[in-house]
Chain A
Amino acid sequence: MKQIAIYGKGGIGKSTISANIAAAYAEMGLNTWYIGCDPKADGSMTLLGGRKVSTFLEKMRPGSVTEGEVVATGFKGVNCVETGGPLAGVGCAGRGIIVAVQALDKDYFTDDIDIIIYDVPGDVVCGGFAAPLREKFADEVYIVTSGEYLALYAADNIARGLENLKVNLGGLICNSREVDGEEGIIRDFAERIGSQMIGFIPRDAVVRECENRGRTVVEWAPASRQADAYRNLAKAILNNKMLSVPSPIDPEEIRSILREKGG
């Protein structure tokens, strides 16, 4: 069983990438689980034909009247779980992730699972959001970024978290914003923090079109180049041998990369 966690700046495209590689693994015939850790519980929507599922934590509440299974079966049998969590402004989303991940591991994860993908919101904001990185959960982390300063700054900050927690980084995934020299920027940055760029996802309108239909690109536009980009990324992650605890760099060093490699 391989367990990976996807992190990255808010809005960078973690859920889109997570859902598309989950679809790619399912297409390969792998027993695949997608675990969405955002309280908004919308990451799995494209795997479920636009459906929103009842959340794992909502089910756990005493007196819960939530209908339906907490594990929803999506595209080609992908098992989808949304941990869910509190409404904005109350409770503790971090605690929710801790409880959900532990309960899933105890009661749901079986030995015949091939791959589990944790889609984790935002940067590592507190201990709870790092729960998927604990022992016996995700073995490796992938950080989604673009070639823009704030995305790289967030990636660097996540790398700092991984360094503290002594967790392996598998690589950076570029979700392109069509920044000049983007690939070079990210390769350079990756090298400096002791990692690699493991995949490059081009910017393509097909992503939005599919999302508007509540589908992944792999499902709705299977013959597109974009779908192949996700499939290649999925394979690269599956075969990735280059794992290392990253060493973050200084923000000024990020700016210097951008000045040198950017347009």
Chain B
Amino acid sequence: MTEVLHPRPSPIVAAMYTLRDLDVDVIVMHGPPGCGFTASRLLEEAGVTVVTTGMQETDLIFGAEEKLVKLLKKVDEDFHPKMVGIVGTCASMIIGENLDAAIKKAGIRSIVLPIDTHGCSGPNTVGAIRVLEVAAAKGVIPWEEFERQREMLTRATELERERGMTSKPYLKPHRGATKLKIANKIVETLKEEGKVAVIVNAKKETAYRFADVLRAVEYARGKVGGSAVYIANTDPAVGLPRIRRYSQDIIRDLTEAGVTVDFLTGGLDEYPVAGEKAAGYLKDRKVDLRVICGLPHAVPDITQRDVLVTDQPRVLRNFLDTGFEYSVGEISTHSALMGATGIVHSELGDTIREVVDEELA
């Protein structure tokens, strides 16, 4: 296995996001005050309250169970949450803090999900799987849903290892190239009466931005001609309620923009397998240009003629280093999307619109 040198997503943060997906009201971090700092800020924008026990040196030595009990009681009084997640951190888990005991002592009425994960638990998906397992054990989600998601998350980790951000020892983040060349290529293809396929294979909320490419290509097609086929993993009947809401929002906005998705490849949490379905759907259909957005490396047969759009700076580096010259980044997508409830403009989408408008002016 490749020994990876660059920092990569943490099980702690994956646990926090998965708790958000379960619509918990409050996340209690049991650990140092800075642990999960960046993720917390984003999650607050998505409507989740994040608090921390803010462990200090003496808490490492003597334990901090009392602090956790006190904080749980305060959370219960101040925020009246229906559901609370407690996330372990390296510090609290190494010294063996007992989350279950603290919950019992706090005696609060909300459903509490204790997530005993930490930074050294393995790949980030381990944290997500742990949340789902605890949720299933507490009856928050059915076990079948846990099994389905565990399979997806395991596949996601394999995908990253084989073709994604953990496939090379070191990938320097790429800031993303300009979009003009790509936008021109898409508009040219349409102008020459070509057929453009847009595949959105996105992870959860990032689809709010990648779906904009569908709107932009449809806008261009309406203005300059050509034909298009639209594929997306925005099946509103798959996943946790929150994830289904994302799909509903996107379908609603696409409909408004005159876009009909020709083929749904799965739900927004099925990106590790939905790429294969997209490739299968297009196999016997003649298209002149494929534009693959989100996690393009999940589409098994990508070629250097495809346009690849990703929000991952290290994945973008990998594409550009291996000859995929039509690769562009929608960097910082994630931070722009927290709290979004509809499609958000993308840089590539806006560039396509600009090219089309100048063409017609």
Contact = CB atoms under 8 A, between A and B. Distances in A.
A57 B65 contact: no
A87 B98 CA distance: 14
B67 to A, nearest CB: 11
A65 interface: no
Contacts of B62: 57, 61, 85-87, 90-91, 96
Nearest to A95: B60
Interface in B199-217: none
B51 to A, nearest CB: 19
Contacts of A62: 56, 58
A160 B101 CA distance: 37
A91 B56 contact: no
A151 interface: no
A1 interface: no
A57 B61 contact: yes
A93 B62 CA distance: 8
Nearest to A92: B95
B57 interface: yes
A99 interface: yes
B58 A57 contact: yes
Interface in B56-106: 56-63, 65, 94-96
Contacts of A236: none
Contacts of B60: 91-92, 95
Contacts of A85: 61-62
Q: How large is the interface on B (under 10, 10 to 19, 20 to 34, 35 or more residues)?
A: 10 to 19
Interface residues of A, number: 14
Contact of A99 (B61, B63, B65): B61
A92 B58 contact: no
Interface string A78-97: 00000001110011110110
B65 A92 contact: no
A99 B96 CA distance: 19
A92 B63 CA distance: 7
Interface in A108-150: none
Interface in A41-64: 57, 60-62
B289 to A, nearest CB: 57
A96 B59 CA distance: 10
B57 A86 contact: no
B58 A60 contact: yes
A86 B94 CA distance: 15
Nearest to A100: B61
Nearest to A39: B61
A92 to B, nearest CB: 4
Contacts of A87: 62-63
Contacts, number: 42
Given A91-B95, A92-B94, A95-B95, A61 B63 contact: no
Contacts of A60: 57-58
Interface in B276-331: none
B310 to A, nearest CB: 41
Of B57, B61, B62, B63, the most chain A CB neighbours within 10 A belong to B61
Contacts of A91: 59-63, 95
A90 B63 contact: yes
A196 to B, nearest CB: 36
Given A91-B95, A92-B95, A95-B95, A86 B61 contact: yes
B56 A92 contact: no
B56 A86 contact: no
A154 B323 CA distance: 59
A92 B90 CA distance: 13
Contacts of B65: 90
Interface in B2-55: none
A57 B60 CA distance: 11
Nearest to B65: A90
Contacts of A99: 57, 61
Nearest to B58: A61
A62 B63 CA distance: 13
Contact of A96 (B56, B61, B94, B96): B61
A132 to B, nearest CB: 16
A85 B60 CA distance: 10
Nearest to B101: A90
Contacts of A57: 58, 61-62
A135 B275 CA distance: 56
A218 B94 CA distance: 42
A90 B68 CA distance: 14
B81 to A, nearest CB: 27
Contacts of B58: 57, 60-62
Contacts of A90: 62-63, 65, 95-96
Contacts of A95: 57, 60-61, 95
Nearest to A63: B58
Interface in A4-59: 57
Of B57, B58, B59, B94, the most chain A CB neighbours within 10 A belong to B58
A173 B56 CA distance: 39
Given A86-B61, A90-B95, 5 more contacts: A57-B62, A87-B62, A92-B95, A92-B96, A95-B95
19 contacts: A57-B61, A57-B62, A60-B57, A60-B58, A61-B58, A85-B62, A86-B63, A87-B62, A87-B63, A90-B63, A90-B65, A90-B95, A91-B60, A91-B61, A92-B60, A92-B96, A95-B57, A95-B60, A96-B61
Interface of A: 57, 60-62, 85-87, 90-93, 95-96, 99
The 8 residue pairs across chains A and B that have the minimum distance between CB atoms: A90-B63, A91-B63, A96-B61, A92-B95, A91-B62, A95-B60, A86-B62, A61-B58
